[in-house]
Structure 1
Amino acid sequence: MFWIVLFCSCFWRLDGLLLQGGTLKEGDAVTLNSYFIMMDDNVIQWRFGKENTLIAEINVTADRIAVYDDVLDGRFRDRLKLDKQTGSLTITDITTENLGDYTLEINGVRKENFHVNMPVSMTPVFVLKGDSVTLNSDLTEMKRYDWIQWRFENTIIAQINKEFDRIAVYDDVLGGRFRDRLKLDNQTGSLTITNTTDEHTGLYERKTKFWTTEFFLVVFNEISVKEGDSVTLNSDLTEMKHYDWIRWRFKNEKTVIAVINKRFGRIAVYDDVFDGRFRDRLKLDKQTGSLTITDTRTEHTGVYKLQMRVSDRLSLKAFRVSVYARLPVPVISRECSSSSSSSSCSLVCSAVNVSLVTLSWYKGDRLLSSISACNLSSLSLPLEVEYQDENTYSCVINNPISNQTQHLNITNLCHACSDSVHCCGPTEAVIRLVLSALVGVATVILLVYDIRSRRAEQHQAHIHTSET
């Protein structure tokens, strides 16, 4: 589906230099030939892009040959090969990120420009399963003689013709997979697909009187996993053949985290990207191309995209992985009431170090209240109940993949308080016990002091009587 055309933007004929071009598919290799015979004082440099970034060089005098494949976000990593005899540059496993202008310099003088371009435009569009997606017409308003036709896998699914004032959607085609899901904007001609499913993944074409634009829509699922567990992103392949290749990317379109190219016998994982968050965590199945992430962390949350060419057909897949921290156990405590005659009991359910969680109170199966939070040191939710209430209440903490429940029989904690210690939460109860103990000690000291004082007075009185 992708075709890459190599041509020369500026053609010069030099002694010992001949430009050769050709047509190749993405994933193949392309050689930019210099056919230059290396001399003793020659310096050959290859540069890429508008910034004229150095990507490879040969310095005969310094006896140095080098490729700089980690520049420009690593888009050339393990892809550059330099012929030390002629200075020709080969780019293997070429991708759309390698498209652009290449410049050959010899002894500091620009000798040749090469341009690698992809003439056919196909825009990848990603949408989460169940969400809506709009394929834009790039028009603000359709004119009198404009028309737009939308196709999916070569089948017409919608069209609009301003000249004949006709607008139609064909949502019963292809087994009815688009039934009640297509909306065509009469003003712009843009097409919206609602409530997307896996079967809406594929190639869409937008045809007008002037051009055809292709969109490859990828409907992806969300995978939830507990922090510390492993998750496997399946390619759905049983076996990769001789000319097949795959690339795994994370978030950034230009950053590859794993690759297999059967033709060149290449299999690699790049776990040092993204600040090393994947270091020693990526495992690539060389048979199927499926990717496993081990010992997951919340920083691994995001969209993973798989680009692959299988049996000479290009396709895309995507997965949104959500890694959730393991849930803390909720704790239920009782708050003290300022009035001993209060008829209600104040409870608090709390949890510490919470991330993407919801804390809820239930009365039986009925939800009473809830609160949600993301990345907090603590989260609390109060509840007022009557002393005589004998229902069972539950405090529940959960995230999309798990929950922790703390059940409570109200009669165990909420009863009339003759003993103030039982009316308090643990912290205040301890404080009151300590204060009570201090008061008791002080009372004993006063009693001892009083007894000793009286004995001393009696002794003095006895001495005085004896003297008399």
Structure 2
Amino acid sequence: MKGDSVPLHTDITKKKDDRIRWYFNDILIAHINGDPSKTCTDVQCNDGNERFRDRLELDHQTGSLTITNITSTDSGLYKLLIAKGQEIIFHVSVLEKKSVSVMEGNLVPLHTDVSKKKDDRIRWYFNDILIAHINGDPSKTCTDVQCNDGNEKFRDRLELDHQTGSLTIMNTRTTDSGLYRLLIADGKETIFLVSVLAVKSVKQGESVILDTPEVKNPNDDMTWYFNGTLIAEITGDTSKICTDGQCDERFRGRLKLDHQTGSLTITNTRTTDSGQYKQVTSNNSRRRRSSSSSSSSKENIKSFKVTVNDSGLSPSAFPSAVVGICVPVLLIFAVVGVVVICYLRRSSRKVNTDMEKNKQDKLLRKDNTETEEDRGQMT
């Protein structure tokens, strides 16, 4: 696939004086003339041709050639010639891929962007397994179970558009992540790299397990990426968690890798750990002699979207905060109580004073009346 490296293995034991020549579409791009000092690659071999500048690696022990950071213009015929008459041909196809990401449970449409003709044969593959095809006649259309001898992986979750050949995957699962390949009878081929994101949400300080329950094949190479940066890998019997410099100390001492399943655990999570994590599994036993080679290597990909939420106030700080809030409230209620009590007392005193005054006024009026009556009788 575009951007990958593709090794072209000779599968021979080279002798010291063997002359080896590599051609791309009949243009000399690399050779070994026995003496290592007479080895050339690309620019030196081909009068300054810049096509493969700094992208060819030649193995002096075997004569194998590796093309790095491959591009679509690198597609073509590669020919290996050995002085004693041996010749090996490699046909390299560099495929463009469309990347598609979707949250687990949602549907994902894979559009062909072609106008399908009535008799066009269309085939869809998932990691090289046939999952859907159209053979021109609509009655000869199959999806998943019918195509693949009862494989249940996509049961009732595939929809095939008979007009365009587009494929829709419904109710997606993390196990649906991987390479989907569309082949049309006229030779057209399209690759889709689908990532189904499992959503993981934890509180800051907790651990999160990015689980891959399947048992890892001993021949599998496994790598973990965080937002595109390599953070952990297992190669054969050895494993490595990224160094401080590679991780920028982000995960210092907080990553644990399960050698049996390849699952990754992040301990003591932080909000800066939020992001996309991707596990890529590839089989390293693919190296074998072949007359053709393709850069579309088989890979299994699982993706996770992790969100680390800020836990807010720590438990130890919470009781103090409650006390700090409650004390002023109690004080306010106490002041209100005093005000009310004082008001009632003052009001009570005022009422008593008024009643006493009224009583005295009545007595005084009564005395005045009696005095006037006495004066009348004397007259």
* Bigger mean CA offset, 297-306 vs 308-317: 308-317
- Aligned mate of 2:226, from 235, 245, 250: 250
SS in 1 for 2:36: coil
Structure 1 segment 351-366 matched on structure 2, within 5 A: none
Per the alignment, residue 132 of structure 2 pairs with 157
What CA distance in whole angstroms lies between the structure 2 residues aligned with 1:208 and 1:321?
A: 38
> Matches of 1:8 and 1:428 in 2, distance apart?
91
Code of the residue aligned with 1:325 in structure 2: it is: D
Query: Is the CA contact (8 Å cut-off) linking 1:3 and 1:118 kept in structure 2?
Result: no
Partner of 2:28: 11
Query: How many corresponding residue pairs?
Result: 264
Aligned equivalents of 1:237 and 1:19: distance in 2? 48
Q: Distance in 2 between matches of 1:194 and 1:279?
A: 39
Q: Which residue in the other structure is 1:76 paired with? A: none
Matched residue, 1:148:
122
The residue type paired with residue 161 of structure 2 is D
Match for residue 131 of structure 1 among 106, 109, 118: 106
* Contact 1:5/1:118 (<8 A) preserved: no
The equivalences for 1:251-266 within 5 A come to 251-252=227-228, 255-262=229-236, 265=238
Query: Within 2, Cα distance between the matches of 1:327 and 1:266?
Result: 36
- 1:35 maps to what in 2? 36
**Which amino acid in structure 1 is aligned with residue 198 of structure 2?**
N
TM-score in terms of structure 2 length:
0.52
2:310 pairs, out of 325, 342, 358, with 325
Partner of residue 462, structure 1: none
How far did 1:296 drift?
A: 0.7
Tell me, which stretches of 5 or more residues in structure 2 are unaligned?
Answer: 9-21, 40-49, 73-90, 286-297, 319-327, 344-379
2:279 to 306, 314, 326: 306
Q: From the CA coordinates, give the structure whose radius of gyration is larger.
A: 2
The aligned residue for residue 203 of structure 2 is 226
Instruction: Kindly state the Cα deviation for residue 131 of structure 1 after the two structures are TM-superposed.
Output: 1.0
Distance in 2 between the 1:50 and 1:318 partners?
35
- 1:181 maps to 2:157: yes
Aligned equivalents of 2:243, 2:195: Cα separation in 1: 24
| One-letter amino acid matched to 2:307 | S
Contact 2:227-2:277 at 8 Å conserved across structures: yes
Question: What TM-score does the superposition give when structure 1 sets the normalisation length?
Answer: 0.43
State the 1:270 CA deviation.
4.1
Distance 1:188 1:176 in 2: 25
1:188 & 1:202 partners in 2: Cα distance? 22
Choose from 149, 170, 175 the match for 2:143.
170
Comparing both structures, which one devotes a greater share of its residues to helix? 2
Alignment pair present for 1:119 and 2:93:
yes
Helix, strand or coil for the counterpart of 1:35? strand
Change (3 A) 1:276 1:308: same
State the shift of 1:283 in Å.
3.0
One-letter code aligned to 1:234: D
Deviations 1:22-71 (A, max 9, x none): xxxxxxxxxxxx92289xxxxxxxxxx99978x9xxxxxxxxxxxxxxxx
Q: Deviations over 1:134-188 (max 9, x none)?
A: 122132x334554423244533424273xx5778453653355544432333443
- Work out whether 1:194 is the aligned partner of 2:194: no
**Residues 360-439 of structure 1 correspond to what in structure 2 (within 5 A)?**
426=329, 429=332
Query: Equivalent residue of 1:299, what SS?
Result: helix
Q: Hey, what's the Cα distance between the residues in 2 that align with 1:240 and 1:184?
A: 33
RMSD of aligned C-alpha atoms? 5.2
Call closer, same or farther: CA 1:128–1:431 in 2, change over 3 Å. Answer: same
Identity %: 32
- Amino acid across the alignment from 2:269: T
Match of 1:421 in 2: none
Cα distance in 1 for residues equivalent to 2:108 and 2:162: 17
Structure 1: stretches of 5+ with no match in the other structure:
21-33, 39-48, 56-79, 102-116, 330-351, 353-424, 441-468
Give the corresponding residue for 1:374. Answer: none
Contact 1:272 1:278 in 2 (8 A): no
Question: Distance between the aligned counterparts of 1:195 and 1:36, measured in 2?
Answer: 59
Q: What is the CA–CA distance in structure 2 between the aligned matches of 1:303 and 1:171, rounded to whole Å?
A: 30
* CA deviation string 1:267-304 (max 9, x = no partner): 24145456543233223345553322121112212221
Residue in structure 2 matched with residue 368 of structure 1 by the alignment: none
Is the Cα–Cα contact under 8 Å of residues 271 and 279 in structure 1 kept in the other structure? yes
Residue 371 (structure 2) aligns with: none
Instruction: Supply the AA of the counterpart residue of 1:121.
Output: L
Q: For residue 17 of structure 2, what is the aligned residue in structure 1?
A: none
1:245, distance to aligned residue in structure 2 (A)? 1.8
Amino acid at match of 1:232: I
Select which of 262, 266, 270 maps to 1:293.
Answer: 266
Equivalent position of 1:64 in the other structure: none
CA distance 1:12–1:320, shift in 2 (3 Å): closer
Identify the residue that residue 406 of structure 1 maps to in structure 2. Answer: none
The structural deviation recorded for 1:5 is: 4.0
**1:5, 1:300 → 2: CA distance?**
35
Q: 1:259 to 1:326 in 2, by over 3 A?
A: same
Q: Deviations over 1:333-388 (max 9, x none)?
A: xxxxxxxxxxxxxxxxxxx9xxxxxxxxxxxxxxxxxxxxxxxxxxxxxxxxxxxx
CA contact (8 A) 2:71 2:94 kept: no
Question: CA contact under 8 A between 1:234 and 1:290: conserved in structure 2?
Answer: yes
